[in-house]
Amino acid sequence: MADRYLSLTATAPGRFLARRLGLPQPAALRRWSPEQPCLPGVLLHLTAGETAVCDLAPVLARTGLPLAGPAHPGPAADPADPGVAAVVLDATGVHDVDSLAEVHAALHPVVRSVAASGRVVVLGSPLEDGPDHHRAAAQQALEGFVRSLGKEIGRGRTVNLLRLTDADAAESTLRFLLSPRSAYVSGQVITVTADGSGAPVDWSLPLAGRTALVTGGARGIGEAVARTLARDGAHVVVLDVPQAQDDARRVAGELGGTALALDITAVDAGERIAAELPGGLDVLIHNAGITRDRRLVNMPAERWSPVLDVNLASVLRTTDALLAAGALRRGGRIVATASIAGLAGNAGQTNYGASKAGIAGLVRSLAPCALAEHGVTVNAVAPGFIETRMTAAVPLFIREAGRRMNSLAQGGLPVDVAETTAWLAHPASGAVNGQVVRVCGQSLLGA
């Protein structure tokens, strides 16, 4: 369903009315397309604090945005230039309260110059337990700064914090955050570790030669994920329930992939998937999910159990079976679908919220051992209000509240979840592990 309010506020009378009434003024987001793969304008590279922990310039130069800033002098280095597509502030060297003032000093003069749908990415150091509590406090302060700036910056611009120690290991993440692919990701804190993952042969087809399985892939977000992974070169296996096999075959046929009709809640689902893919699997996307909403006092067991079985138990069983069978090749990726309902809670969704919070617990627990034992990373996406057939059926006022209650004042699209999933599935994203990344436009529900 079209967002008519977004269309209205794109007109001069609509903008005037929204300003006079103090209503949200969402900006149309710039998303990736073959014709516009990069944000227009320059990348402003700034620093704050003592010496940075890594050399970013070579990696930033490969993002596709021309570099500007003190370390990159030239005609485009004027921070007041209206063509600033993005700002990267290296604050890895911030170590005390005084050096936090340098964060303000660096960004205060340039925030206005960031173009609509532009990006601000602050770089910090990983948080570690240790004796230097001043440094820990200053680095933790960056999270509050980023989330607050994200809620006030407006015009479709996003602000995120990336914690890193190795610029090369963070390249896929920087490319993602500084591109139109991350249009609906804001206010997030992402940590990347030092990792041995290398660059793909072709950044435009990073999944070439790889096999990806998407559960619930016949429609909605799952279909968008399948299409995005296929765009990136993967052979996609579209798995869905037998009742949806016609849609699964249609999607798989259009993508040159394979359809697999299977009830993911079957006890032997993992073994059956492994048997269908004797050559193994590189990317496993757990997207299948259902809702059976009702307040707890009115929720019988028959509405509770199916949600937990589809959304959580099947993910646990299938993942365990595929890892035990060695069906996921080394360098593989597991990406599960959580939800902001599981992180912040939502009235009428105790079953759904429990299942999606369980996904976050699975990711945190499994990620380190899956990487150590199988060479596989485990992450999750947590969508907020996404424009699908399901949300189109939500009552008008609840739907409008869902759309507006985020920093971008609009709902996301299935492709926003798909692009985030594709980044986590990227062969160069091996340094991203154990992360739950919200795709919610920085929802006002929760952090």
29 near 117, Cβ under 8 Å?
A: yes
> Within the chain, what is the greatest distance between any pair of CA atoms?
67
- Euclidean distance between CA atoms 153 and 156, whole angstroms: 8
Strand 158-163, strand 211-215: pairing: unpaired
294 near 303, Cβ under 8 Å?
A: yes
- Euclidean distance between CA atoms 312 and 314, whole angstroms: 6
Q: Which two tokens stand for residue 274?
A: 């492994």
76 near 66, Cβ under 8 Å?
A: yes
State the DSSP code for 311.
I
412 near 184, Cβ under 8 Å?
A: yes
Helix (H, G, I), strand (E, B) or coil at 47: strand
- 184: annotated active-site residue: no
Catalytic residue chosen out of the listed positions 32, 145, 184, 352: 352
Sign of the CA dihedral running 424, 339, 285, 156 = negative
8 near 14, Cβ under 8 Å?
A: yes
Rounded to 5°, the CA angle 439-445-446 comes to 85
Q: What are the phi and psi torsion angles at 58 (to 5°)?
A: -60, -40
Strands (DSSP E) found in 57-179: 67-68, 84-93, 114-124, 158-163
**Residues annotated as part of the active site:** 352
